Amino acid sequence: MTDTVGGVILIGPWQLATATLFVVFVGVLSIRLSLGITKDLAIATVRTYVQLLALGFVLRLVFGIDSPWLVVGLVLLMVLAAARILVKRSPDAPPGIFGSAFVSMALTGFLITFSVTGVIIQVEPWYLPQYVIPLAGMVIGNSMNGIALALERMFADLDRREDEVLALTALGATPWEAAHPAIRDALRAGLIPTINSMAAAGIVFIPGMMSGQILAGADPVTATGYQIVVMLMVAAATALGSVMALVLTYRRRFSADGVFLEKGFRDDAR
């Protein structure tokens, strides 16, 4: 009944259909109880199928072609998508921060991913897609969440603290000094989810990468090593990316003369 490849039990159409049945059941429940999530659930289920199947085929293709340009291009594409999501998730940020978001994501994404594959794991060749692409995905995806949180927090905080910012500026503070309390709090806010998941890892849950490796037949202790590397690099990428994004963008809320642009002084309606 079940096929295996290298010790891994294959998921075929029948298995997928069975799993989908559970979602259908939830959908029926939602209609009966008027929970109003049927449509969202249906769309999310379809998206999961389409996006992950597409990803699977793309990765199979990329692994087969074995070109460094393709791997770097794919990572760049991930960075681009992450930067777009970042900007969308920061409604309180001034317009025009896409460039800064992209630079922060790109620098941390490439630096951390290739440090791990090149220095720690030492894959051969350096662009080996089986390692680079999943690791880049984890670094970029997780740090994107932290950076988005930090950015949104900083700009919302600056607005909330505009009296404090004005008082500091009036005392002779530079924009950096006036914004510093907001920047510091934003950095902390962006890092908290990562720190929390580091603290709970292994006690509350088995982290994703480790689960995957164990399911794929790896020795749990071997999987532990990978998981630790991944968690540390996600923390480093989030911290580095957040610092960079905050430093590159905070000045946009100040005039050339160093005055905080309160809502009444902004050209944009944001």
Partner 1 sequence: MAQTALLVARDLVALLRVDGRNARVLDGVSLALAPGSIADITGPSGSGKTTLLRALARLLPEVTGSLTLGSVPAENITPTAWRAAVALLPQKPAIFSGSVAENLRVPWTLKERHGQQPPTDEVLAAALVSVGLDDVALDRDAARLSVGQQARVALLRVLLTGPRVLLLDEPDAALDDASSDAVGALLRDFVEAGGAIARVRHHRSDGLATQRYVLEGGTLDALPAGVPEPEFGEVSL
Q: Which helix (H) or strand (E) holds 8?
A: strand 8-9
Q: On the CB side of 30, how many CA atoms lie within 13 Å of its CA?
A: 14
Please give the Cα distance from 98 to 86 (Å, whole number). 8
| In the complex, minimum distance from the CB of residue 152 to partner 1, in angstroms, rounded to a whole number | 22
Task: Select 175 or 190, whichever has its Cβ closest to partner 1.
Answer: 175
User: Using CB under 8 A as the criterion, which residues of the chain lie in contact with partner 1 when the complex forms?
Assistant: 163-164, 166-174, 177, 181, 255, 257-259, 261, 264-265
Task: Select 96 or 208, whichever has its Cβ closest to partner 1.
Answer: 96
Task: Select 124 or 163, whichever has its Cβ closest to partner 1.
Answer: 163
Task: Select 3 or 163, whichever has its Cβ closest to partner 1.
Answer: 163
Task: Select 195 or 261, whichever has its Cβ closest to partner 1.
Answer: 261
Please give the Cα distance from 11 to 3 (Å, whole number). 8
Cβ atoms of 86 and 147 within 8 Å: the answer is yes
| In the complex, minimum distance from the CB of residue 163 to partner 1, in angstroms, rounded to a whole number | 5
| In the complex, minimum distance from the CB of residue 73 to partner 1, in angstroms, rounded to a whole number | 42
Residue type at position 250: Y
Task: Select 98 or 262, whichever has its Cβ closest to partner 1.
Answer: 262
Cβ atoms of 103 and 261 within 8 Å: the answer is no
Task: Select 114 or 250, whichever has its Cβ closest to partner 1.
Answer: 250
| In the complex, minimum distance from the CB of residue 251 to partner 1, in angstroms, rounded to a whole number | 14
| In the complex, minimum distance from the CB of residue 188 to partner 1, in angstroms, rounded to a whole number | 14
Which residues, including other chains, have CB under 8 Å from residue 137's CB and lie 6 or more apart?
78
Which residues, including other chains, have CB under 8 Å from residue 3's CB and lie 6 or more apart?
9, 10, 12
Cβ atoms of 159 and 101 within 8 Å: the answer is no
| In the complex, minimum distance from the CB of residue 165 to partner 1, in angstroms, rounded to a whole number | 9
Cβ atoms of 194 and 142 within 8 Å: the answer is yes
Q: How many CB atoms lie within 10 A of CB 215?
A: 11
Please give the Cα distance from 29 to 23 (Å, whole number). 10
| In the complex, minimum distance from the CB of residue 185 to partner 1, in angstroms, rounded to a whole number | 11
Please give the Cα distance from 148 to 241 (Å, whole number). 10
Task: Select 39 or 266, whichever has its Cβ closest to partner 1.
Answer: 266
Cβ atoms of 114 and 136 within 8 Å: the answer is no
| In the complex, minimum distance from the CB of residue 99 to partner 1, in angstroms, rounded to a whole number | 22
